[in-house]
Amino acid sequence: MWIWQQSDWPRGRLTIMPLLGELAATQAVMSPLVAQGQHLYPRQRLRLEATLLSEEMEASAQLSGVVLGRAALRDALYQALGLETGQQESPRGLAPGVEVFADVTLEVVRTAFQPLQQEQVLEWHRRLGPFLPRSSGQRLGEWRAASYEAISGRYGIKRLRYRAPANTTEELAEELTGFWARLASEEPDVDNSGVLNALQLHAHWQALSPLALGNGLIGRLLLMRWLTRIDALGALQQQGEWSGKVGEQLGEEALEQLCWRRQSLFAVVLEQQDALRELEQHCFGKPEESASGRQLPPMLDRALNGEAVETLPGDMNVWVQWWLTRLREGGRCTSFHYQRVQRAERLWLEHARTPLNTRQRELVLTLLERDDEEGVGRAEYRALVTTSDPTAARDLADLTAKQVLESYGVGRGTRYRLPVFTGQG
């Protein structure tokens, strides 16, 4: 039995009182991040956003089965945000379409307070088609015209994980009408419960799965948009500068300045993707038959789907609790990113006039991303920038002489790290 076969579809069952402690704990983690963001200089803010978004995009792509390098995503974001990397182009060259992914993600974030239209979501889907596995021959930039089933397993018995509502264009149109009507009244704003609404809307989208493929990727972008709204509202609240509907109070340029990603989430979700599948089964339901349509034997049913779900699908308390926990975990990781950006800014200011080649700048950017004291050895650097051993040795010696890096260890165990990460807060 599925969530959409319940009488309480699409809202599900939610009891707010047991969630108040979880909500307060999450707010306690998110609020300081919003406050920290207000104290950053514009360039620091852009560097932080590039760091957070590259991490989010890499993890989100992996959740959709696509592997993209964070360095390539970072380079694309630096270019899109007008940040100086000190190099005219990436030494590796950007992967095809990575710029599109960066542009769409920034568009999703920057327009977080603009009314969201169906056409806009479909346009994002069309542009991101190349990132979706098995996209060839599939409908891109259109709502699905047939049933949707999530099936896992490549060999042997296929496992039906989920079957979405609506088997025809007309049925889906009716479901979408309900979703957009709900979005119009419940999208996070100053007069509703913010993160709670965002997580419920995300569940509605995932359960509806209105696209032939890419529902997860688009759903994560929408969740990113709603969380951006929440953070922007938090910033305004801390400044004491909001009242009524935000979109009616501030101009488009002012809203865009507010709309930037202040925390990471999907990297911690990626680490918990097996738990996420179990959560979706609990909340959205589990099949009573195999992908072939045959009833599963009880023993095989338990092997494939676990023990029978005691509660009916639609338990939104479990859904919200799981995501609130991930938000707190992501928020705690993000606090380190703030420190990293401040250190990076200090380093670039100190070496603003230091001539570095593209390989050396790539190493500095990579070490800033790692944010640790381990550094790299010569062999690691050689592999990172794809160069010869003599060139790697010259580059590292030059960086050490210019005091961009410091070396420690002896012989083949010599490693190179950024002094900015040692003996400084």
* Residue-level pLDDT at 86: 41
What is the residue-wise DSSP string for 49-64?
A: HHHHHHHHHHHHHHHT
Closest CA to 329 of 286, 268, 240: 268
* Residue-level pLDDT at 191: 59
Which residues of the chain fall short of a pLDDT of 50?
Answer: 86-92, 290-293, 308-309, 423-425
Q: How far is CA 243 from CA 1, 78, 252, 397, in A?
A: 44, 34, 17, 57
Instruction: Give the list of residues 6+ apart from residue 314 with CB closer than 8 angstroms, or none.
Output: 3, 6, 8, 9, 12, 13, 283
Q: Is 94 exposed, middle or buried (0-12, 13-18, 19+ CB in 10 A)?
A: middle
Q: Both tokens of residue 388?
A: 């010869």
State CA 341 to chain mean position distance.
Answer: 19
Helix/strand/coil for 297: coil
**Residue the block writes with tokens 């051993």:** 389
Instruction: Please give the model's pTM, rounded to 2 decimal places.
Output: 0.80
Closest CA to 68 of 110, 127, 130: 130
* Residue-level pLDDT at 280: 95
* Residue-level pLDDT at 277: 92
CA atoms within 13 A on the CB side of 217: 26
Angle between helices 358-370 and 70-81 (to 10 degrees): 110
